[in-house]
Amino acid sequence: MSAGAIGARAVGTLLAAHRGGAQIWPENSLLAFRNAIALGADFLEFDVHLSKDGEVVVIHDPTVERTTTGAGAVSDRTLAELRTLRLKGRDGKGTEEAIPTLDEVVGLAAPTPVRLLLEIKVDARGGRYPGIEEKALVILDRHGMAGRTLVMAFQEETVRRIRTLRPEVWVGGLCEKRDLAEMRSTVEREIERLRDAGARFIGLHQGLVTPDVVEQAEQAGLLLGVWTVNDAGAMKRFIELGVGILITDRPDVARELLGR
């Protein structure tokens, strides 16, 4: 599958399992990703950080206490130390699931048709991880998945870094209301900024997505993703608006609404 297939929407709105399906299974777990693939999700959405010894690991927060049985910053623990932790289930109790590496998640996805929405995060101090973009690309290439992955970030520097390293890889920016307030910007300006930066995707919090925004993103040539949509009524509304990717913690509900 080529990079161009990322944006192919012959079947309409595409379905992304947010953190694998965080309202059903332990978020960002191999269990969640396996089940999301079995459900027929078009994308697995997940987040990456670097361990103390420079390994790319799949976890949302820069610290481990919310989602695991441990505490502290991801970047303060080696991969071996992170592996001793267990991911929490929906009840807050530890499960048998461990924090996966990016290599494991990409390896799981590679033999299947699923595509990847890979968000590059910053550390607990808000700083970029040195070399994380290069490391992620090496892993994607190892499994032949660079053409089936859309790399995204809130930080423009990360977007531009991916563009510089690999212009052919799909890359996009993320935006929510707080960002707009801090930057004194608008959705319309951010769409233009990302287009000018060579991005091919924009991911917006659902509170920012209107019919006009959908139209402007399409005119700018940007695939539009909306997150994180867990209410069935809101899912239906965004599907009817024609958003490119519906990003949800409930891929099971979204699948039914999409008529899969």
Q: Which residues are catalytic?
A: 18, 60
Complete DSSP assignment for 80-146: HHHHTS-BB-TTS-B-S--PPBHHHHHHHHTTSS-EEEEEEP--TTSPPPTTHHHHHHHHHHHTT-G
Strand, coil or helix: 63: strand
* Strand 43-50 with 115-120, pairing: parallel
Using CA atoms, how far apart are residues 172 and 153, in angstroms rounded to an integer? 7
Tokens of 109: 């996805």
Using CA atoms, how far apart are residues 102 and 40, in angstroms rounded to an integer? 21
- Beta-ladder partners of 227: 205
Using CA atoms, how far apart are residues 167 and 165, in angstroms rounded to an integer? 6
Q: Specify whether the backbone of 66 is left (phi greater than 0), alpha (psi in -120 to 50) or beta.
A: alpha
Strand, coil or helix: 198: coil
- Phi first, then psi, for residue 210 (nearest 5°) are -125, 170
Q: What is the DSSP letter of 185?
A: -
